[in-house]
Every structure is written in structure tokens, then in C-alpha cells.
Amino acid sequence: MNKVVKNAEEAIKGMSDNMTVMFGGFGLCGIPENVIRVLAQTQIKGLVCISNNCGVDDFGLGFLLKNKQIRKMVASYVGENAEFERQMLSGELEVELNPQGTLAERIRAGGAGIPAFFVPAGYGTEVAIGKEEREFNGKMHILEHALTADFAVVKAWKGDTNGNLIYKYTASNFNNMMAMAGKITIAEVEELVPAGQLDPNFIHTPGIFVQRIFQGVNYEKRIEQVTTSNPK
């Protein structure tokens, strides 16, 4: 199976309105910039997006949000995006917020074929409304269902033509588990090498989970909140 595609335009073929799509990354770190830019130039709309957050107003998933291409957002942190707040409060955007660990486990469970699990996080809060509750070892838990997607779009530091991926530092947080939870997984990488060049001991995502891969270009790698120290 030839998994290598030329660019993001070719990688998103088959993606259409109202699909569920996972986008890897943590904040603006390790997000699939190329695919997001290309999607923002399409007419695809009504997307259910699953991501740690929704980017910022002028970058990342904020592009799709501004274009009204997202119908529902499943996320854990959304505090850096004023347009997100506006759309949520006005009722234009459906939002499902999760504790961050719960979101991560829902995605991991989806990739592992586990349909649901009990977790204590969120019990006694709005997160628990409408969910089954059960006691384990003297502590109350709520039932959470796994997440899967029509497409999972991830970004890796390095990959090979068989789809094996290596992430770098924080970028591995959601990319790794999302790569396993998509029916079709698209991987954009900073460096694409021939199969056999990656050390098997350092591969994070085996190629069996990846259907399409390409080498990305023009990464901005923007930082949400630049924090510096002022030496005295």
C-alpha cells in the first residue's frame, strides 16, 4: 500500500461535510498546520472537531472556526480563543467540554477498541449530567464513552514511507493516541524518510495506524503565550 501523498490537498480527499475529525496537538504545539490551512480554503462545513483546544483567533483551528466550518467542538481547553467564546455563548457552536485526562482516555480507548469506561473525574459537576454513575472502591465514578473519528489528522516530527511516526516532546500528547482512533489517519511530518531509516526503538506510532502521509512545508510553530524572564 502506497501511503505517501503529495501534499495536504491530496491528503484530505474524501473529507466532506458533517464528518467527525480529530486534530492532534497540544495548544499550538504539534498541530497539523498544513491540513488546517488547506481545509480553511475549502467549502467543507458542519464538522465535529475533536481536539485538545480550538487554536487561537488567527491560527490553528481558529481558521475553521472563523469560517463557520465547525458545527461542534469536543475539547478540554478553550480559553485562548475569543471567537470560540462568542460562538458558544451565542449558540452558534455546540461545545462538549471534558476534563483533559478524560478526553485523552476517551480517544485512547477509541483507538484500543474499548467502547466505554468509568472515571471519577467530573462526578458531582455538570460534566456528569445525564451519565451513568457507579461506585468503585468507595468512590463514585461516571461512565464515559470512547471517541473515534472519520479522519484523524496528526503532525509528527519525522515519519517514513510506511507511516511510522516519531513525535517530539509535547507534540506527542494527543497526536499519538489520535493516530489510532481515526478510520483514516493523515500524518503530516517535518521530515519524510524511506522505510527502514527510523530506529524501531524510537517509533511512537506504528505505520499500521496511518493511511496517508506527506511532508509538510512552511511551519510557523507559533507560541500561544510568549513568556520570557527579565534578567536583572
Task: Write out pLDDT tens, residues 211-221.
Answer: 999 999 988 88
Q: Is the pLDDT of residue 143 over 90?
A: yes
Q: Is the pLDDT of residue 232 over 70?
A: no
Q: What are phi and psi of 200, to 5 degrees?
A: -55, -25
pLDDT tens per residue across span 35-64: 999 999 999 999 999 999 998 888 999 999
CB 69 within 8 A of CB 44: yes
* Residue ranges covered by each domain of the chain: 8-118+147-215
pLDDT tens per residue across span 12-38: 999 999 999 999 998 889 999 999 999
The model scores a pTM over 0.75: yes
Q: 8-118+147-215 belongs to which homologous superfamily? A: Glutaconate Coenzyme A-transferase (3.40.1080.10)
Got the DSSP string for 74-135?
EES--TT-HHHHHHHHHTSSEEEE--HHHHHHHHHHHHHT--EEEESTTTTSGGGTTS-EEE
Residue type, 46: G
Mean pLDDT of the chain: 94
